[in-house]
Amino acid sequence: MHHSLVRHLLRLFGCLLLISSQNAFCDEQPDALQELSSHPVWLNLLHYEKAGLLQPRLQSAISSPEFFLAADGHQNPLAELQATLAALQQSVATDDAAGSHAVCRFPARALWLQSQLGTDLELHKNINCTDLDKWTRDNTVSSVSVVFATGYLGNPASYYGHTLLKFNFTGDGSEGGLMDASLNYGAIVENDDDPVTYIFKGIFGGYDGGFSHINFYFHNHNYGENELRDMWEYQLDLPPDAVELVTAHAWEVLGKRYTYYFFRRNCAYRMAEILEIVEGLKIVPDSRPWTIPQSLIQSLGDASYQSRPLLSEVRYHPSRQSRLYTKYQALSSFEQQLFKQLALEDIHFEDASFTGADLPSRQRILDTLLDYYQFIRDRAAGAEDPANLAHREALAMRYQLPPGLPSFANKKPESPHTGRAPSWFQLGITHNSDTSHALSVRLRPAYYDALDADHAHVKRAALSMGDLRLHISDQGIKLRQLDLISIASVSPALTGLPGDTGTAWNLKVGVEPLRLDCEHCLVPRIQADRGYGYRFDESLFSTTYIGAAVQESRLQEGYGFARIGARLNLATGSLWEAQLQVEHRLPVAAKVSAYNALRLEARRSMGSSQDLRLMYERNRGDELTLALGWYW
């Protein structure tokens, strides 16, 4: 509590008598109320933000009128404080009206004001907040966790991952806390907008956003089973009064409307706001004008509260795909062979090649098969899906074996909060065979490419927005390339079995040069491909694809081209990675003939914050770049 507030407690007592009209004493002595209304926690509880350019003012991010008790409470912290103090002390005539009392609607405001005013704020004892008590299970929330679901390239809203809050209840015996409550924030999409419309409206505030709640098992099933996304749970080390305050404020904002912004005021930002009502806790990353879920997770890993690390425990919730891959990789070569033969029905459970294996091997193979059939099943086909039938047969065979959990020797993957930062700046030297030397500058606000995908990123894939490249030379500063969005999605295809094949697709929208032997030939271009990936071994992966590009017609190059291409990814340990990409392009409505394009890039990791890259490109001209990059 601020020392200056203590001196005003007696004066505030008179102000607390406000119910329906202003108290004259408060009008004459407004200092104490004014100071309380400007307290950071009060401003956070009301979600006030600075608005206006010429005349900055405070305005709440919440647009729902029911969130405010004063007529101008959305932009007047003092008026909202006065109205709140009055409403908290109103009596309840009947039990039927109890749920609408301010103590029930705004429990976090009540808790914080009581912590500031002590016995000077007296609340009625007969207020029964049935719905609130049911949601908090009679105030048995023991801790709060932030859950991070890794990126999902099938939905633009989830490209960068997603965060939610999980409220861990005392005595919840479910595995992984599946029955715990969770708080989710997202855009409220009332129409079936296509992905491009969704991204555009999400960037420029075309959607309302809001909080919803559901038991954690729903997200565990949706993310882990349907979208095959790993989840990481970060349990926070907060004292009981802070846990109670955060839980109470989560109740206050349920169903309230905000303006949703994809890059900044998104799920990660709003979840951090909920936590930051705890005085002294600061976790919203302010070093950049965008908020990426992984940045929030990394901020949690670096944060402390009351001289202790904020994180108390990290739990891993693997997806169905990750569970299958973990078990498959733990099988010996002999066990993998039997596993594939059974999956392809080349052998059966009664064959001697399977029954002759030792018991631990049969247990591991069957457990891996059970995950495989769950992974490939067609949910729409129901019970008659062949994968479901095969799952039942494998389960029946598993029950015939003696009980016991087989050993799968795999270590837990690295947590996303220990990975590199998502933003990247690069500075290098470029030599072009036709345009001489230039200083190369590159800024990729987020997120990763095929060579630097690490914790929680899709291996051998790429995802970025706003990737900017500039060349600086004697002729000035020139735009070399701008990728508004660039996605390369590749399925890991670890087993290579039916249902686990290496499907791949690419999408790229931006501005880039037609060719490398000219200085002034930038064109807007949209590119898309479909392909197939194949895993040779742990270090070598290839992708073949076919696709097309649409572009502005310049220099007789036509309105685009069809292409067939291939990429080869090579990883040698944890330090070196390289990618070779070759394409054969067939221009459309052009006066140039078919031609080939080539790109070779090698990356050398220099810890979590730097890398060194060498890139060679050929497209009717040659270009070589050597550059040093910094992650931030």
Q: Pairing mode, if any, of strands 502-513 and 522-535?
A: antiparallel
Question: What pLDDT, in 10s, does the model give residues 92-104?
Answer: 766 555 678 999 9
The phi, psi pair for 527, rounded to 5°, reads -130, 145
Higher pLDDT, 254 or 30: 254
Q: How far apart are CA 267 and CA 189, in angstroms?
A: 15
Please indicate, yes or no, whether residues 210 and 332 belong to a single structural domain of this protein: no
Q: Shortest CA distance to 247 belongs to which of 173, 168, 131, 313? A: 168
39-85 residue pLDDT tens: 999 999 999 998 766 667 899 999 999 999 999 999 999 999 999 99
Amino acid 481 reads: Q
Q: Quick one: average pLDDT of 496-512?
A: 92
Domain boundary among 400, 435, 469: 400
Q: What is the pLDDT of residues 291-330, one digit of tens each?
A: 888 889 999 999 999 999 999 999 999 999 999 999 999 9
For residue 289, pLDDT beyond 70:
yes
Alpha-carbon span 462 to 555, nearest angstrom: 31
Q: Are residues 101 and 83 in the same domain?
A: yes
Same domain, 306 and 357: no
List the single range of 19-23, 237-241, 504-508, 529-533 with lowest mean pLDDT.
Answer: 19-23
Instruction: Work out how many domains the chain is built from and give that number.
Output: 4
Q: Determine, yes or no, domain membership for 594.
A: yes
Per-residue exposure over 39-64, b if at least 16 CB sit within 10 Å of its own CB, e if not: bebbbbbbbbeeeeeeeeebbbbbee
Q: Of 317, 339, 363, which residue is a domain's last?
A: 317
**SS (HEC) of 298-312:** HHHHHCEECCEECEE
* Domain match, 290 and 334 both: no
Q: For the residues 342-360, what does the mean pLDDT come to?
A: 94
Q: Say how far apart CA 413 and CA 148 lie, in whole Å.
A: 14
pLDDT for 164 equals 94
173 shares a domain with 94:
no
580: which strand partners? 568, 600
Same domain, 259 and 343: no
Q: Are residues 372 and 308 in the same domain?
A: no
Q: Does 350 fall in a domain?
A: yes
Q: Which residues contact 480 (CB under 8 A, 6 or more apart)?
A: 440, 469, 470, 471, 513
Residue 586 sits in the same domain as residue 456: yes
Work out the average pLDDT over 504-517: 94
CA 131 to chain CA mean position, Å: 30
Say yes or no: 469 and 607 in one domain: yes
In a domain, 134, yes or no: no
| Residue that has been written with the tokens 């502005």 in this structure | 552
Is residue 146 included in any domain, yes or no?
yes
Strands (E), 270-418: 304-305, 308-309, 311-317
Distance of alpha carbon 77 from the chain centroid: 32
Give residue 540's pLDDT: 92
DSSP secondary structure letter of residue 409: -
Examine the domain organization and report whether 577 and 545 are in the same domain.
yes
What is the structure's pLDDT at 172? Answer: 63
Q: Mean pLDDT of all residues in the chain?
A: 88
DSSP assigned state of 456: T
Domain boundary among 295, 317, 339: 317
Query: What is the amino acid identity at position 613?
Result: R
Q: Which domain holds residue 103?
A: 3-129
Query: In this model, does residue 375 exceed pLDDT 50?
Result: yes
Q: What tens digit of pLDDT does each residue of 9-39 get?
A: 434 444 544 433 344 334 444 677 888 999 9
d(CA 155, CA 227): 9
Residues 268-287 have pLDDT tens digits of 899 999 999 999 999 986 76
Cα 110 from Cα 116, distance rounded (Å): 10
CA distance 312 to 367: 32
Type of residue at 324: L
Q: Is the same domain home to 172 and 82?
A: no
Least confident of 62-71, 308-317, 361-370, 534-543: 534-543
Same domain assignment for residues 460 and 326: no
155-208 pLDDT, tens digit each? 666 788 899 999 999 876 666 788 999 999 988 887 777 777 877 788 888 888
Residue 1 has pLDDT above 50, yes or no: no
Residue 149: inside a domain: yes
Q: Which phi and psi (to 5°) does residue 356 adopt? A: -80, -10
pLDDT, tens digit (0-9, with 9 covering 90-100), for 415-467: 999 988 889 999 999 999 887 789 999 999 888 999 998 877 878 889 888 99
pTM: 0.88
Residue 230: band (very low, low, confident or very high) from pLDDT cuts 50, 70, 90? very high
The C-alpha atoms of residue 257 and residue 125 are separated, in whole angstroms, by 31
408 found inside a domain:
no
Q: Are 229 and 290 in contact (CB under 8 A)?
A: no
- State the maximum Cα–Cα separation within the chain, in Å, rounded to a whole number: 94
- In the predicted model, what is the mean pLDDT of residues 352-366? 94
For residue 135, being part of any structural domain is answered with no
In one letter, which amino acid is 42? Answer: W
Q: What pLDDT does 413 receive?
A: 86
- How many Cβ atoms from other residues are within 10 Å of residue 585's Cβ? 19
What pLDDT, on a 0 to 100 scale, did the predictor assign at position 20?
39
pLDDT band, residue 128 (cuts 50/70/90): confident
Q: Which amino acid, 269?
A: Y
In a domain, 409, yes or no: no
Three-state DSSP class for residue 469: strand
